[in-house]
Chains A and B, each alone.
Chain A
């Protein structure tokens, strides 16, 4: 119930302009700030999976990295001899992400919409599918970079000292009576004992999905052992549905504004 714009305490004492806003005024002010933020309405997110899913955590890392950079800029302006490099603790964001971040006007993460594994054909029974809703990308944004990120845990005994091959596919066609048509985007050899986030560049795919939303049929992954045997990605340590929240796969896209946003006159 407090007012949302206020002067500092000292100024409050010296001025008498401070007052509580009426409900209607507050609503008008909220509308105005939403308009500045480029939003037509107040978002109502469904936080059934918690705020501390991997995607919000990753984004918070990026946000903190931005603010550390800003603080360093300020420090440098006070003391030019002071080094602007500080140690940053990034749990998720990589150096590459920070490079994208400096160029980007907007970063957006997308949660995987596939909650439960669907029964795929026997040929594809070890494939995992991922889907992302790109419908809320504002118009006029150009995708500068996009990554699909999946977490791999260390696999203990079963494949010790072995390599596995992880392949990421784009679904390019779906028919009722047969397997989906897939296009291989990238294949990567991994050690079974590797642990950490794996990033796959899917910039071209996202650009296509933004331009032609009906092409957005999702991604699939498959895992093969060194002798070419298909295994369940879970056995290879790849975290998906049912795994820890902070290790859930997600997609992130870095955008550059293509055109000037003009606010609608009221």
Chain B
């Protein structure tokens, strides 16, 4: 069931052409959709460009990545969609004004290790969880 209309700004969910289509109508899923589909993008954080080489020994930087793209019908297995996201997409097709599309977000996050000096010139090696996007999907 659909409750009150939700204030929704972050999700690029509502498209007029979809709003006019009912769930039974055919949606054109051509190859251009693939270009905007939810996927992982490259994003590199450079400690060197921050000017931190004097205290960060390694790494010079790391590929953090980010997720971006549309979570549009049909969500297939390649997009790591949750069951809920699949249902939400269907409901979105029926009520595009009220229910947003699922979000494109990380499904697998990995850790990085950073090796750095402290103020006393002691060296610290620390693992930081959830720093690197390994896979994206629709939630």
Identify the A interface with B (CB < 8 A). 2-8, 11, 26, 30, 33, 36-38, 42-47, 49, 51, 55-56, 59-60, 62-63, 66-67, 104-111, 133, 135-136
Does B45 sit at the interface, judged by CB under 8 A?
yes
Check A11–B57 contact: CB distance below 8 A.
Answer: no
The reply to whether A4 and B46 contact each other, CB–CB distance below 8 Å, is: yes
Contact yes or no, B55 A43, CB < 8 A: yes
- In whole Å, how far is B69's beta carbon from the nearest beta carbon of chain A? 13
User: Bound state CA distance, A110 and B122, in angstroms?
Assistant: 5
Q: Compute how far the CA of A33 lies from the CA of B52 in the bound complex, rounded to whole angstroms.
A: 12
Closest 10 CB pairs of A and B: A45-B117, A4-B49, A8-B42, A107-B125, A59-B123, A45-B121, A43-B55, A109-B123, A106-B126, A63-B115
* Interface majority SS (helix, strand, loop, mixed), chain B: strand
- The answer to whether B42 touches A7 (Cβ under 8 A) is yes
C-alpha spacing A55/B118, complex, angstroms:
13
Instruction: Pick the residue among B44, B58, B123 that contacts A108 (CB under 8 A).
Output: B123
- Knowing that A59-B57, A108-B125 are A-B contacts, what are 13 other residue pairs whose CB atoms are under 8 Å apart, sorted by A's residue number? A3-B49, A6-B46, A7-B42, A26-B50, A33-B45, A37-B126, A43-B118, A47-B54, A49-B121, A56-B117, A66-B113, A108-B123, A136-B120
Residue positions of B touching A, CB distance < 8 A: 41-46, 49-50, 52, 54-55, 57-58, 113-128, 131
Which of B44, B116, B121 is close to A5, meaning CB atoms less than 8 Å apart?
Answer: B44
- How many angstroms from the CA of A42 to the CA of B116 in the assembled complex? 11
Contact: A45 with B54, CB < 8 Å?
yes
| In the bound complex, CA of A105 to CA of B121 (Å) | 20
Residue of A whose beta carbon sits closest to that of B126:
A106
Q: Which A-chain residue is minimally distant from B113 (CB atoms)?
A: A66
Determine the chain B residues whose CB is within 8 A of the CB of A49 once the complex forms.
Answer: 121
Residues on the B chain within 8 Å of A60, using CB: 57-58, 115
Residues in A neighbouring B55, C-beta threshold 8 A: 42-45
Contact A7 B125 (CB under 8 A): no
**Contact assessment for A4 and B50 in the assembled complex, using a CB-CB cutoff below 8 Å:** yes
Residues in A whose Cβ lies below 8 Å from that of B57: 51, 56, 59-60, 63
